[in-house]
């Protein structure tokens, strides 16, 4: 069993599970900082050559966790309190070897799914390219790509990024929790990339937002494409 501690600002934690022939079950225990209350926990898996998929969404105070298309016989998870959570892979097989991720969120409306007067509203996702000013100031420096998901209710979301269909965590900064915006919520995530990456024509930068509506998880995404290096240096753009 592995115990992993992380800082308050951490949102996505990479956990690599290695298949071990002598083991029939592999479990992982995640411990948060003692003063942080994380009500929601998401566990993802990425097999070699495949995209990331959500295995299970757990919430503190709820025993019925959402496993989506995955079997409860194969995977199990618990959320006994706001500072920890467990995830177990049963009946280990070679094809279980891969990259597993955990995402946590601090805030949760514990009575959200008991409110019949509020309609479930899925997020709208938009990705904004680096500003012209940022690109003109230092062409070779880091560029900031911004993802905004808004207009959703309730606030059960997680965010991750892909570059050319490959998951990335370096340079990612995501709000610790969704913020209220009138009757709905919004969340913002930023991806910092090198000037070389951004000025690669048609390179894909994709923001993916997973939204749990109380019964199932849906994915919403938006993509922005890299541009040719001389694009922002055209005098007409200055």
Q: Span 2-106: which CATH code?
A: 2.60.40.10
Residue bearing tokens 């913002």: 188
Please report which helix (H) or strand (E) contains residue 54, including its range.
Answer: strand 53-59
pLDDT score of 113: 43
Q: Provide mean pLDDT across the span 18-31.
A: 47
Distances from the Cα of 170 to the Cαs of 14, 104, 234, in angstroms?
A: 11, 17, 30
According to the model, what pLDDT value does residue 33 have? 43
The reported pTM is: 0.57
More confident residue, 188 or 83: 188
pLDDT greater than 60 at residue 232: no
Q: Longest Cα pair distance anywhere in the chain, in angstroms?
A: 65
Interstrand relation of 184-193 and 75-81 (parallel, antiparallel or unpaired): unpaired
Provide the pLDDT for residue 46.
Answer: 83
Domain boundaries in the chain?
2-106, 124-235
The contacts of residue 76 (CB under 8 Å, 6+ apart) are 86, 87, 88, 90
Q: Would you say domain 124-235 falls under CATH 2.60.40.10? A: yes
């Amino acid at each position: 069993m592995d115990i992993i501690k992380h800082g308050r600002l951490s949102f996505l934690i990479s956990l690599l599970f290695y298949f071990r022939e002598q083991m029939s079950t592999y479990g992982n225990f995640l411990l948060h900082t003692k003063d942080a209350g994380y009500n929601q926990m998401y566990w993802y898996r990425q097999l070699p050559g495949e995209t990331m998929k959500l295995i299970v969404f757990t919430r503190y105070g709820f025993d019925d966790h959402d496993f989506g298309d995955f079997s409860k016989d194969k995977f199990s998870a618990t959320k006994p309190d706001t500072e920890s959570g467990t995830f177990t892979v049963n009946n280990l097989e070679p094809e279980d070897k891969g990259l597993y991720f955990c995402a946590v969120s601090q805030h949760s409306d514990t009575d959200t799914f008991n409110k019949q007067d509020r309609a479930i509203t899925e997020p709208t996702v938009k990705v904004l390219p680096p500003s012209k000013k940022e690109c003109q100031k230092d062409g070779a420096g880091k560029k900031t790509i911004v993802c905004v998901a808004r207009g959703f209710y309730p606030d059960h979301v997680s965010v991750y990024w892909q570059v050319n269909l490959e998951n990335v965590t370096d340079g990612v900064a995501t709000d610790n929790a969704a913020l209220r915006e009138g009757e709905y919520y919004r969340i913002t995530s930023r991806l910092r990339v090198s000037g070389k990456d951004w000025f690669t024509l048609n390179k894909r930068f994709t923001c993916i937002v997973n939204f749990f509506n109380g019964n199932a998880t849906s994915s919403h995404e938006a993509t922005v494409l890299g541009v040719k290096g001389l694009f922002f240096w055209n005098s007409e753009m200055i």
